[in-house]
């Protein structure tokens, strides 16, 4: 078991899968000579060559379309979006081609590709670079959507995504690239897609959170424990398919649920989780499901306004107290 950063865990997963399977190749902007905007692909061009680490022009629709065609013909491309906000430029290729081809071809064509890169709130990158893009994709049948919160998850889930025969949206976080954690050395270590993780056991309320909000939820749980409130923190990890069994099982134990997400809230991931909980565990609930989301506004550039838009520790604490006293 090695201790490494989230960024290094992603790099290791890519390296191991490229060694394991010659069909795996990387494609995207500045991923080769520049080693990637966030250095996730560092050293891979030198190790594998330019046929398997492909630098492209700044054209998301173009290189994503190339990857779709390559996947249809049996390769396993990993597309890097410099930021997932730019995936909007490739929505036709992702939504109308990658997600639909298996269905429209009657199973004749699989599209085994991964589209990965950072998304969500960052550090003062403003409105066009800080969106929580998972909401754009989890509504689309044919796509799997992953948001890994820890270095261990980054490695294990990315390897599973690369091996999957379906297109996988794999959204990381700029704010997590430098965090460290234990990561298994085993090159066959994987984490199944569609399996949630209970990050902290508790008895009074289930808090659903992922990525940066998961770490904030753990801080809140630590603080509320001093007041006698026991929070169970559940990280979905894979948003589609979602591990409803683990999530509902937790709510049936605690009888209360709070969902925390950094996105703008309306029709967001929190809405879907709240609906699942209400539909499947209504009779187990002792209080209504509460959602804590980012403000329904574009992300400001100013640091103080950026912090005001994102769910704060104080807001999460107040909401959990209210739910537990209901």
Instruction: List active site positions.
Output: 60, 129
Per DSSP bridges, beta strands 197-200 and 231-235 are antiparallel
* Token pair recorded at residue 126: 């403003």
Phi (first) and psi of residue 179, to 5 degrees: -70, 150
CA–CA distance, 106 with 157 (Å, rounded to integer): 28
- Greatest extent of the chain over all pairs of C-alpha atoms, in Å: 60
CA-angle at 249, arms to 278 and 181, nearest 5°: 115
Q: With contact defined as beta carbons under 8 Å apart, do 239 and 104 qualify? A: no
In the DSSP assignment, the letter for residue 78 is E
Helix (H) or strand (E) holding 57: none
Q: With contact defined as beta carbons under 8 Å apart, do 252 and 284 qualify? A: yes
CA–CA distance, 212 with 172 (Å, rounded to integer): 10
Q: How far is CA 137 from CA 115, 116, 234, in A?
A: 11, 13, 22
């Amino acid at each position: 078991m090695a201790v490494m950063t989230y960024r290094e865990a992603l790099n290791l997963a890519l390296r191991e899968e490229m060694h394991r399977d010659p069909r795996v190749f990387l494609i995207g902007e500045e991923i080769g000579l520049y080693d990637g905007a966030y250095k996730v692909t560092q050293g891979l061009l030198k190790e594998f060559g330019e046929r398997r680490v492909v630098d492209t022009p700044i054209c998301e629709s173009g290189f994503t379309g190339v990857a779709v065609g390559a996947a249809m013909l049996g390769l396993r491309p990993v597309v890097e979006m410099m930021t997932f906000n730019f995936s909007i430029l490739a929505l036709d290729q992702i939504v109308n081609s990658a997600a639909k081809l298996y269905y429209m071809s009657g199973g004749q064509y699989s599209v085994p590709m991964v589209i990965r890169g950072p998304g969500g709130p960052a550090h003062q990158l403003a409105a066009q670079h800080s969106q929580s893009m998972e909401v754009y994709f989890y509504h689309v049948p044919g796509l799997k959507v992953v948001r890994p919160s820890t270095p261990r998850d980054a490695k294990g889930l990315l390897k599973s995504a690369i091996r999957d025969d379906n297109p996988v949206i794999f959204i990381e976080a700029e704010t997590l690239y430098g965090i460290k954690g234990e990561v298994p050395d085993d090159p066959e270590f994987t984490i199944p897609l569609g399996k949630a993780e209970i990050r902290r056991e508790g008895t009074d309320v289930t808090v659903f959170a992922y990525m940066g909000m998961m770490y904030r939820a753990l801080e809140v749980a630590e603080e509320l424990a001093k007041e006698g409130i026991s929070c169970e923190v559940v990280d979905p990890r894979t948003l589609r398919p979602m591990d409803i069994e683990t999530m509902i099982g937790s709510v049936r134990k605690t009888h209360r649920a709070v969902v925390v997400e950094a996105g703008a809230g309306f029709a967001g991931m929190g809405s879907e989780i709240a609906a699942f909980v209400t539909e499947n565990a209504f009779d187990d609930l002792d209080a209504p499901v509460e959602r804590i989301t980012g403000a329904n506004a574009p992300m400001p550039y100013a640091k103080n306004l950026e912090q005001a838009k994102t769910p704060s520790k104080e807001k999460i604490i107040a909401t959990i107290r209210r739910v537990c006293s209901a």
